[in-house]
Structure 1
């Protein structure tokens, strides 16, 4: 007979990144259904859900509520890095674990977070290594004005400069802001080879729409290619045809034209990963994450999470959005996460060695 384990779900059903949260929520719930229906597993999950409604100030209180008022010690959720950082003190206070199934900027390794999507050595660096020789070395960076946008731009700037490239602009918008006149005008004047778009949600959709309008002008008919490490299939409907031609990097793209993308799939896989760690280990759900991983490894299980820093191994896929579907351009083998970019990375074109440190 299966034992029942409570898990938390902390994702927003509304707000400017609701499409991303909706895909992750659907992935978690699908994973729960699959685990509960699997007779090979001795564990089943019961979901305790709270909705922050896209408000940053609600994440910590609702995380605290789940941990204090239910038996859940493992919570699946958060989309933005800002919300993840809001809940970490609560996880530390109440011995909880956040399963974070979306891409992020790296430079973090909490004992209370399972990082189940990609970090920069698994998304941004491979994307730039493809883009710089393929598209050109004149880059323009735009992102949401918080740690995701800042760190993505910092890493990209260092990589572009190491490849003897040039960063023409580095601009930020408040989360959800759609006032883009100054950015579009700057792009019109500077004419970059490519744009790294690290905007989130509504800001990103508005930017892509304005850029599509710019490409209607004769001198921009081909226009700069937009690169992204956080745009997936779950946003295609929101962005519309303006997103056509965008090149994205991630661990997974829909093979048959589905709409969930990697936000859905990594959330689903996260549920299965927890189930495999708990299977055959009664009361293991109360163990701290490092101890849970050590216990699993000692019994012969090979978790996807690295016991050193709790990031998952991931492949890297680079794909272009064409006719409403992502088409694979390049695939790299599964790679160990390097959240602090401690491994030396040789620049393109034989330039100097670059080491990025925290």
Structure 2
């Protein structure tokens, strides 16, 4: 590559719109990694980022990808949050031989020669969460989610596991992204009294749901976290700030990263992130996954000696890093990452107390071909003392 070489990459995050809190976290995580690569003498190049904000509109993701790949001539783009946005841009990456570094937990059941997945696969978030809920909460669930593939598929996985254990899904309700009126569905939830609520709402919809559920249950004298616990695969630390102090405690979240991970490496990451982005709020899985994506991309380019698609993808099996969550490497068979599942409970400090975690990084299983959803334990997690 040579000293002072510049590799142009794209960033495609919605830093405005209905899930802008998440988009800003993702953008910040990617930018921190870009700056770290620039100051690291092990790399003889630096990244120059071209950022596009689709504003949470699926069609704008496609236009943004077209601009980055065809007009700006970049090969690698770190971006997208929702599965609908990812599916919207995939044809563009296939057409222009680009690589999407997709940094979001997702529902799985996809592999692509043009995508590297650095967020959690279903066996790394929904499966361990389902096992926890069936053991600790009970076997009746009410599912409420945003109306797109992420919610549909996660609810399908949950439904299969619950039915396999003799349980029941009492109802599934879906709402447009950005919807904030949940009075009717919350009334229905309170009447049905499920053992737990499975929440796949995103962005402002999720925050409004938590606030309204808190108000409605408090008015009826119901201890919501204990009697109607809410579980999510996406709830993160910056979102607790959006929900507000009164309603943010006692919620269950399954993730591969929480800011409260007690390790020297993570505390260093948290310190650098907060110093660089003092107004961005806490770190989160949404910040860490793009951070990992940029670092893995840099390591693959260094290994390949070129930013071209072919050499970079060929170098992926030999790429790994010590991330804030722990060791991360890419499975060469499906280009998803080995990650460490955890379960946390939100607390009054607007963070998460980690109660369970895997003792080691878990192999990604995007198609759930190795995972037995009828197992009483499913993914094994250890209690965190």
Does the TM-score normalized on the shorter chain lie above 0.5?
A: yes
TM-fit CA distance, 1:163: 1.3
2:285 maps to 262
Is 1:347 the counterpart of 2:374 in the alignment? yes
Distance in 1 of aligned mates of 2:176 and 2:19: 13
Candidates 355, 359, 364, aligned match of 1:329? 355
Q: Give the conservation status (yes or no) of the 8 Å contact 1:143–1:199.
A: yes
Q: What is the TM-score of this pair, normalised by structure 2?
A: 0.86
Superposed counterparts of 1:9-48, under 5 Å: 9-48=11-50
Candidates 190, 206, 209, aligned match of 1:207? 209
2:250 maps to 245
Distance in 2 of aligned mates of 1:94 and 1:218: 57
1:95 maps to 97
Per-residue CA distance 1:24-82 (angstroms, 9 max, x = gap): 00001000000010001122100011111222211111111111122411001111111
Distance in 1 of aligned mates of 2:209 and 2:330: 35
Candidates 331, 334, 341, aligned match of 1:306? 331
Distance in 2 of aligned mates of 1:83 and 1:220: 38
1:318 maps to 343
Distance in 1 of aligned mates of 2:142 and 2:237: 24
TM-fit CA distance, 1:282: 2.9
TM-fit CA distance, 1:4: 1.1
TM-fit CA distance, 1:214: 2.2
* Secondary structure in structure 2 of the residue aligned to 1:279: helix
Instruction: Mark the runs of 5 or more structure 1 residues left unpaired by the alignment.
Output: 352-358
* Secondary structure in structure 2 of the residue aligned to 1:315: coil
Per-residue CA distance 1:208-250 (angstroms, 9 max, x = gap): 0111012214452243111010111121111113221111011
Is 1:235 the counterpart of 2:239 in the alignment? yes
Per-residue CA distance 1:238-278 (angstroms, 9 max, x = gap): 11132211110111100268612011111111110000001
Distance in 2 of aligned mates of 1:350 and 1:56: 37
Structure 1 residues 208 and 65: CA distance shift in structure 2, 3 A: same
Distance in 2 of aligned mates of 1:268 and 1:7: 14
Structure 1 residues 186 and 56: CA distance shift in structure 2, 3 A: same
Distance in 1 of aligned mates of 2:291 and 2:221: 44
Structure 1 residues 35 and 219: CA distance shift in structure 2, 3 A: same
* Secondary structure in structure 2 of the residue aligned to 1:335: coil
CA RMSD, 1 decimal:
1.8
Candidates 287, 293, 314, aligned match of 2:313? 293
Is 1:191 the counterpart of 2:193 in the alignment? yes
Distance in 1 of aligned mates of 2:352 and 2:331: 29
Structure 1 residues 36 and 224: CA distance shift in structure 2, 3 A: same
TM-fit CA distance, 1:6: 0.4
2:382 maps to none
Instruction: Mark the runs of 5 or more structure 2 residues left unpaired by the alignment.
Output: 261-266, 271-280, 321-327, 379-385
Distance in 2 of aligned mates of 1:182 and 1:232: 26
Per-residue CA distance 1:184-213 (angstroms, 9 max, x = gap): 111011001111100010110111011101
Structure 1 residues 141 and 346: CA distance shift in structure 2, 3 A: closer
Moved over 3 A (4+): 300-303, 348-351
TM-fit CA distance, 1:350: 9.0
1:168 maps to 170
Q: Give the conservation status (yes or no) of the 8 Å contact 1:2–1:41.
A: no
Q: Give the conservation status (yes or no) of the 8 Å contact 2:316–2:330.
A: no
How many residues end up aligned between the 2 structures? 346
2:54 maps to 52
TM-fit CA distance, 1:280: 4.4
Per-residue CA distance 1:318-344 (angstroms, 9 max, x = gap): 000011110001001211111011114
Q: Give the conservation status (yes or no) of the 8 Å contact 1:42–1:280.
A: no
